[in-house]
Structure 1
Amino acid sequence: MTRSALCALVILGLLCGTGAGAQSLNELRTRLQATLQRSLGRSMLGGALPHVDLRTGDVTRYYPTENHEIILQLGEVYVMCATLVTEDGREAPVDYYITQADGRFGVIRMEIDNRAPLQALRDAGRATRLE
């Protein structure tokens, strides 16, 4: 899809209604994926996503390798998951929490190699698969 076609799709979505209920599932998926790509583009340095471990102070450089198809919904928040890999080849799951305000989506939280909070939300029935 060309950049102008993607922009036209986003503008059309804004004109037709900005709530998730007013969008088809495919439009919503497209907007969430575009939001994630923009966020990654701004966060990556030298082709990697640097991440500080707040317990140790170590910085790990992660490289995106695979986006997962499943999108979870937690109220007005959507969760997209992917796999990252470190320089030494260790894989780590990443969960991107995305929400919408004023007709725009944005990533509001990212959890790298910390799946327990999302799993607890799923177990409690608060995070469900978007279908």
Structure 2
Amino acid sequence: MNGSTLQKTAADCAEELPGAELEHPFGPDWEVFKVRGKVFMLMTEVPGRPVVILKADPGEAQALREQYSHITSGYHMNKKHWITLEGGEGVEEELVRELVTDSYLLVVAHLPRAERPVDPRTYGTGTRAAR
């Protein structure tokens, strides 16, 4: 998957998530997706190539960086809790959609219960294992 396809896939997935909103708080070069005002995904070409920056569980983030050469530490973000995904071999649509959804659910899980647009423990369990 190339970089522009990566960003389109990630954006399409994010737009399907309940309560997700696209903003441009850092100018036109950054697309920032939020749920209830909290960031779960950023997209930019500022590093010289199209990238998607996502929140990730620290242990899972480490495993992803070891498994995929196209997944690195979060660009301009906390390196422990964020990953940067770029297009390349092994980066498939299913992986992108899963990482975007996981990022969203990590953020939703930390929202006050009354503000959650979905239950992060059960959302999407029809196609994914329950956490």
Specify the structure having the higher radius of gyration (Cα). 1
Using structure 2 for the length normalisation, give the TM-score: 0.30
TM (norm. structure 1) is 0.30
Higher relative contact order (CA 8 A, sep 6+): 2
Greater per-residue strand proportion: 1
